[in-house]
Amino acid sequence: MSDDPSVVQFPWPTVARQREGVAFGMWTFLGSEILFFGGLLLTYAVYRTLYPQAFNSGSAATDIFYGTINTALLLTSSFIMTMALRGSESGSRGVVAACMLTTAAFGLAFLAVKGLEYAEDIDKHLVPGPHFPLHPPARLFFAFYWVATGVHAIHLLVGILVAVFLGIRVALRQMAPESTAIEAASLYWHFVDSVWIVLYALIYLPGRSGA
Amino acid sequence: MTWGVLRHAGVWILLLLLLGATAASSSFDLGENGAVLRLGIAGLQVLLIWLLFMDLLGSSSLVRLCAISAFLWILLLFGLTFSDYFTRGWNGTSTRYPARTATW
């Protein structure tokens, strides 16, 4: 890795040291994100222990088709993001720009599918409130559903904006393809993907066998 | 196509296969084992992403320590909370579970 002055930022003496700093800084931030989502998952675990059948009936009312499509979209976007990082390591401007923008496009597709799902959920009154069709404790499940998927969607939107911003800057030659910002964006994107994998298992899969 | 690209493509296909397996498993009544299986598959998928896509395998000890420490705190969060909830019935006093409003 060259110590290109357009890549090395103050106060790092070399790209290698800067890369190490970026990874450490991002993982520290992601540690705080793990704790943030950990609190949400803890509430799910406690209430599911208290009301297992309500959570099963709530989960069975969600649309697993949308959930599975969205998981496949995010897994694919993560793969494309790894290609962006490999392009960054080899200094390939075209690969980095194309992969960052394609990753963002997959993220947008996820949000579009999520929007269709939200519209269907609202249509079925699956929102805790006066016309909620399921047994009252299932409101706890749907409170978790709306908060967790909503917060995840906001995280994904941030990731999309970052990917578009970096992709365009690299394409316009305003940023070197070897920039360590690509690695930081990649770590964030994969993390948001991994949060969704856990949410998918908790939201869409239980209570579907009819048992 | 380099070996690294092929390796990442292999991981991606494995992740999609695991997604198919966990989605299909939701149609079968596996009892309590079903939740363990599905969370186990989700855990495996997350591990693959973290170790290979996020390259924790190739990261420095400092970075790995940072990732592991987050899980230490999660362990404490869940451990302390459930040590309370799971033992509330032991003394038979007012610290039991709140009355369930559901009649299932």
Kindly provide the ipTM of the predicted complex, given to two decimals. 0.93
pLDDT confidence of B33, banded at 50, 70, 90? confident
**CA A152/CA A74 separation, integer angstroms:** 12
Contacts of A135 in chain B (CB under 8 A): 102, 104
Residues B66 and B48 in one domain: no
Residues B8 and B45 in one domain: yes
B51 secondary structure, DSSP code:
I
Q: If you measure CA to CA, which chain B residue comes closest to A34? A: B70
Q: Who's near B51: CB < 8 A, 6+ residues apart? A: B57
CB spacing of B45 vs A72 below 8 angstroms: no
Residues B52 and B30 in one domain: yes
CB spacing of A211 vs B82 below 8 angstroms: no
Residue B65 lies in a domain: yes
Contacts of A71 in chain B (CB under 8 A): 19
Residues B5 and B52 in one domain: yes
Question: What is the domain count for chain A?
Answer: 1
Chain B nearest-CA distance from A184, in A, is: 10
CB spacing of B19 vs A186 below 8 angstroms: no
Contacts of B81 in chain A (CB under 8 A): 42, 46
Residues B38 and B20 in one domain: yes
pLDDT confidence of A210, banded at 50, 70, 90? low
**Test mutation, B17, B25, B26, chain A, max A CBs within 10 A:** B26
**CA A1/CA A9 separation, integer angstroms:** 15
Query: pLDDT digits over A30-73, tens only?
Result: 999 999 999 999 999 999 988 999 999 999 999 999 999 999 99
Chain A nearest-CA distance from B39, in A, is: 6
Of A35, A45, A210, the CB nearest to B70: A35
Task: Tell me the angle at which helices A180-203 and A93-123 cross, rounded to the nearest 10 degrees.
Answer: 30
Q: What is the DSSP string of A56-86?
A: HHHHHTS-HHHHHHHHHHHHHHHHHHHHHHH
CATH of residue A111's domain is: 1.20.120.80
Question: What is the domain count for chain B?
Answer: 2
Residue A156 lies in a domain: yes
Q: If you measure CA to CA, which chain A residue comes closest to B2? A: A86
Domain of B6, in residue numbers: 1-58
Chain A nearest-CA distance from B45, in A, is: 8
Q: Which amino acid is at A38?
A: G
Of B2, B11, B78, the CB nearest to A45: B78
Chain B nearest-CA distance from A141, in A, is: 13
Query: pLDDT digits over B59-70, tens only?
Result: 999 999 999 999
Domain of A143, in residue numbers: 15-203
Residues B22 and B71 in one domain: no
B75 burial type by CB count under 10 A (0-12 exposed, 13-18 middle, 19+ buried)? exposed
A98 secondary structure, DSSP code:
H
Mean pLDDT value of segment A180-188 = 97
Q: Which amino acid is at A183?
A: E
CB spacing of B34 vs A206 below 8 angstroms: yes
Residues B94 and B67 in one domain: yes
pLDDT confidence of B87, banded at 50, 70, 90? confident
pLDDT at A2: 52
Residue A75 lies in a domain: yes
Residues B51 and B87 in one domain: no
Residues B72 and B28 in one domain: no
CB spacing of B104 vs A53 below 8 angstroms: yes
pLDDT confidence of A4, banded at 50, 70, 90? confident
Q: Is the pLDDT of residue A95 over 70?
A: yes
pLDDT at B65: 95
Residue B104 lies in a domain: no
Q: Which residues of A72-108 are buried (b: 16+ CB within 10 A; e: fewer)?
A: bbbbbbbbbbbbbbbbbeeebbebbbbbbbbbbbbbb
Comparing CA positions, the residue from A199, A116, A100 lying closest to residue A159 is: A100
Query: pLDDT digits over A104-147, tens only?
Result: 999 999 999 999 999 999 999 999 988 899 988 899 999 999 99
Residues B23 and B34 in one domain: yes
CB spacing of A27 vs B12 below 8 angstroms: no
B101 secondary structure, DSSP code:
-
Residue A7 lies in a domain: no
Contacts of A206 in chain B (CB under 8 A): 26, 34-35, 38
> Token pair of B25, please?
């498993």
